[in-house]
Amino acid sequence: MRVQAILLWWARQLQVADPARLSSWLRSLLLKPASGAAPVPLRLQEIPDPVQWLRHTLAQALGVPAQGADHRQWLQRLFVLPASHLGHVAWLGQALASLLAPVFSLLAALLWLLLWPLRRLMRALDILAARLPLAPLGTRLLQWLGPMLAHPVAYWLILLLSLAAALVVITTPFNWLGQLLFLVWLWMLSMVLRRLPGRYPSLALAAISLLAMGRYAWWRITATLEFDSTAEAMLGYGLLAAEAYTWLVVVLGFIQTAWPLQRAPASLHGQPQDWPSVDVFIPTYNEALSVVRPAVLAAMALDWPPDKLNVYLLDDGRREEFRAFAAEVGVHYITRSDNRHAKAGNLNHALTLTSGELIAIFDCDHIPTRSFLRTTLGWLQRDPRCAMLQTPHHFFSPDPFERNLGTFRRVPNEGALFYGLIQDGNDFWNATFFCGSCAVIRRGPLLEVGGIAVETVTEDAHTALKLHRRGYTTAYLNDTLAAGLATESLSAHVGQRIRWARGMAQIFRVDNPFLGQGLTLWQRICYSNAMLHFLFGLPRLVFLTAPMAYLFFHFYIIHAQAAVLALYVLPYILQSSIANAHVQGKYRHTFWAEVYETVLAWYVALPTTLAMINPKLGKFNVTAKGGLVERSYFDWTTSLPYAVLVLLNLVAFGFGITRLFWWNTDETGTVLLNLIWTLYSLIMLGAAMGVALESRQVRRMHRVACQLPASLYLPDGRVLHATCSDYSLTGLGLELHAGTELFVGQPVQIGLWWDERECAFPAQIAIVKDGSAIGVQFDALTPQQQVELVQCTFARPDSWTHWADARDTDRPLQGLREIFQLGLRGYRKLGSSMLEVARRALPARTQERPPNSSAL
What string of DSSP letters covers 449-490?
A: TTSS--SSS-HHHHHHHHHHHTT-EEEE-----EEBPPPSSH
Q: What is the largest CA-CA distance in the chain?
A: 101
Residues 820 and 683 sit within 8 Å (Cβ to Cβ): yes
Burial of 234 (0-12, 13-18, 19+ CB in 10 A): middle
Residues in contact with 334: Cβ distance below 8 Å, sequence separation at least 6, in sequence order: 312, 313, 314, 315, 349, 350, 353
Q: Let me know the angle formed at the C-alpha of 59 by 57 and 60, rounded to the nearest 5 degrees.
A: 65
> Distance between CA 114 and CA 109 in Å, rounded?
9
> Distance between CA 218 and CA 549 in Å, rounded?
23
In what side-by-side order are the strands of the sheet with 386-390?
332-334, 309-315, 278-284, 358-361, 439-442, 386-390, 473-476
> Distance between CA 656 and CA 664 in Å, rounded?
9
3-state helix, strand and coil shares in percent for the chain, rounded to the nearest 5: 55, 10, 35
Q: Which of 315, 363, 365, 460 is catalytic?
A: 460
> Distance between CA 139 and CA 132 in Å, rounded?
13
Pairing status of strand 439-442 against strand 693-694: unpaired
For 488, other C-beta atoms within 10 Å of its C-beta total 23
Pairing status of strand 309-315 against strand 332-334: parallel
Q: Which residues pair with 219 in a beta bridge?
A: none
Active site residue 363: no
For 90, other C-beta atoms within 10 Å of its C-beta total 13
Residues 265 and 375 sit within 8 Å (Cβ to Cβ): yes
Give Cα 853 to chain centroid, integer Å. 56
Burial of 251 (0-12, 13-18, 19+ CB in 10 A): middle
> Distance between CA 88 and CA 106 in Å, rounded?
28
Residues 403 and 828 sit within 8 Å (Cβ to Cβ): no
What string of DSSP letters covers 33-95?
A: PPTTPPPPP--GGGSPPHHHHHHHHHHHHHT--TTT--HHHHHHHHHS--GGGHHHHHHHHHH
Residues in contact with 158: Cβ distance below 8 Å, sequence separation at least 6, in sequence order: 148, 149
Q: Let me know the angle formed at the C-alpha of 327 by 324 and 330, rounded to the nearest 5 degrees.
A: 145
> Distance between CA 131 and CA 158 in Å, rounded?
30
> Distance between CA 755 and CA 482 in Å, rounded?
18
SS3 283: strand
Q: Which of 315, 316, 363, 424 is catalytic?
A: 316
Active site residue 479: no
> Distance between CA 208 and CA 225 in Å, rounded?
26
Active site residues: 316, 460
